Structure 1
Amino acid sequence: MLDVATEAARFIAAHADERIRLADVADHVGYSPFHLARSFERRLGLPPGQFLAAHRFQRAKQLLLADDHRIIDICFAVGFTSVGTFTRRFTADVGVCPTEFRRLPDSLSDAPPEPVHVPGPLRQGGIVTGSVRLSAAAQTTLRDTAAIYVGLFPRRAPRGRPVSGALLDPTGDFMLTGVPAGTYWLLSTAFPARADTTAQLVPAWNVVGGSPQPLRVSQRHTCHHRDVHLDVAAEWTTPVLVALPPLASPTAQNRRRHARPAAIH
């Protein structure tokens, strides 16, 4: 089952810019579409269609920062046929619309990310603590002091903005607060801290990790502890789509401070 899901993911990632269907992937691995879809989601945490879209959006992010092509041209180049659908789904998964994403390098150059904790929406919600550690391979790949992001997401794939998140200081320790009752995945990624903004928005490598099982938050002030191990992921794995650096910029931090009172830690 593991080999089938992995082979399907490799096939999808390699053909993401083509008009492929679930039936094409199922034929490639010798499974029925129904059984492949079920096995794929169980193994990777999201359906094949969302996995395909994630790779298309990652390519779109590269094109948005590399040239000044029109949004509609980028939409078609990455395999979408409707610019409205492309824009809506890109915004939901990345956290900003394509036009705003294209402007991020300029805004981040004026206000680069700084360590920050972004609480969840419930002032007296649950708390999740832990530490993030890099594998030797991840340290070698990053070649620098790492900018480590950690957050709670409703799905195993880091799509959209986290319920609560943080850009960590060098200790690698975190405390996520204000978490409503629910089931979440604790996910983390790291970029080279001194890389230019383009490399942080679309990193060449996926250095990722997370909790092996979902975390259930059920009571106010309940504290859960989970440590996270980061390693270098294969190129075909699900890319980290959410635009994390702007969430940790001083501009965003000032906006949040004026929008609501600080959460109770």
Structure 2
Amino acid sequence: MRDAVIEAARFLADHTDQPITLGDVADHVGYSPFHLARSFERRLGVPPGQFLAAHRFQHAKRLLLAGDDRVIDICHAVGFTSVGTFTARFAAAVGASPVAFRRLPDALADAPPRPVLVPGSAPGGGAVGGSVRLSPAAAALLGAGASVYVGLFPRRAARGFPVSGSLLAGAGDFLLTDVPPGTYWVLATALPARADLPAQLVPATSVVGAAPRPVRVTAAGQCHHRDVHLDVAQTWQPPVLVALPPLASPHAQDWRRRRPERILG
């Protein structure tokens, strides 16, 4: 079934600009829609519909930064029929509306990302620490001085704001603090620090990783350990949707101003 899930993921990633149903994907791989959907989510962490939407949003991010096409035209180009639905779902996944995302390169030019820890919403709460390591292929792709983003998310998908997050100046140790009770996934990605801002917002090739199992925080003062191994992602893998550089910028997002921050030395 693993091969069928990967083939289904490839099929979805190749048809982001076309109307497609779960039945179409199930027919392509020769499984029932029910069994495919269940196996797909278990293997990749997101259901097929959300997986398809993620690839559509990633394509929309590229279009938003590549030119001045209207949002409604981009909405239709990536397979959505309602600009309202597209805008709301894009903002929920990326952390910025399509219009605001298009303006991020200008905002980041004045306030570039820097190493930072953004704690969670529960002062004195739990903590999650560990190490991020790059595969040889990822290290070769990124070159010297990679920017490594690591965060806690309620699902095995980097969409929306992390519960707690950090930008590291390269691979190494991290500690995420003030984490409220809950079950979370430790997810990470790395970007070439010397890339221009559009390339940092939508990298041509992703370097991603996740801890092999979730972490459950139940009490204040708990410290959990999770290591993350980063490797070059396959083109069909779920993209990192959340706009990460603004989360490490001192001024690019209003929500950062409303939360305490600690700059890592």
Do they superpose with TM above 0.5?
Answer: yes
Instruction: Provide the residue aligned with 1:129 in structure 2.
Output: 129
- Displacement after TM superposition at 1:134 (Å): 0.6
CA distance in structure 1 between the partners assigned to 2:166 and 2:188 by the alignment: 10
Structure 1 SS opposite 2:174: strand
SS in 2 for 1:250: coil
Q: What percentage of aligned pairs have identical amino acids?
A: 69
> Cα–Cα, structure 1 residues 65 and 26, in superposed 2: closer, same or farther, change >3 Å?
same
Gaps of 5+ in 2: none
Distance in 2, Cα, partners of 1:165 & 1:83? 31
In the TM superposition, residue 144 of structure 1 has moved relative to its aligned partner by: 3.0
1:153-164 paired onto structure 2 within 5 Å: 153-164=153-164
Q: Which residue of 1 aligns with 2:24?
A: 24
Q: Is the 8 A contact 2:118 2:261 kept in 1?
A: no
Normalised TM-score (structure 2): 0.96
Report the secondary structure of 1:34's partner residue: helix
For residues 68 and 183 of structure 1, do their structure 2 counterparts lie closer, same or farther at Cα, with a shift above 3 Å needed?
same
One-letter code of the match for 1:166? S
The CA deviation string for residues 127-174 of structure 1, in whole angstroms up to 9 with x for no partner, is 011111111000111123100000000000111110000001346211
1:162-190 alpha-carbon deviations (Å, 9 max, x no partner): 00000013462111011111110000000
Equivalences, count: 262
- How far apart, CA to CA, are the structure 1 residues paired with 2:69 and 2:254? 32
Offset at residue 113 of structure 1 (A): 0.2
State the alpha-carbon separation in 1 of the partners of residues 153 and 255 from structure 2.
22
Aligned-partner Cα distance in 2 for 1:228–1:260: 26
Structure 1: gaps spanning 5 or more residues: none
| Contact 2:65–2:198 (Cα < 8 Å) also in 1 | yes
Q: Please give the root-mean-square deviation of Cα atoms over the aligned residues, in Å.
A: 1.5
Q: 1:164-243, aligned counterparts within 5 Å?
A: 164-170=164-170, 172-243=172-243
Against the structure 1 CA distance between its residues 224 and 7, is the aligned structure 2 distance closer, same or farther, given a 3 Å change threshold? Answer: same
Which residue in 1 is equivalent to 2:90? 90
**Shift in CA distance, 178/187, structure 1 to aligned 2, threshold 3 Å:** same
Q: Letter of the aligned partner of 2:227 in structure 1?
A: D
Q: Give the Cα separation in 1 of the matches to 2:192 and 2:141.
A: 9
Question: What amino acid is aligned across from residue 258 of structure 2 in structure 1?
Answer: A
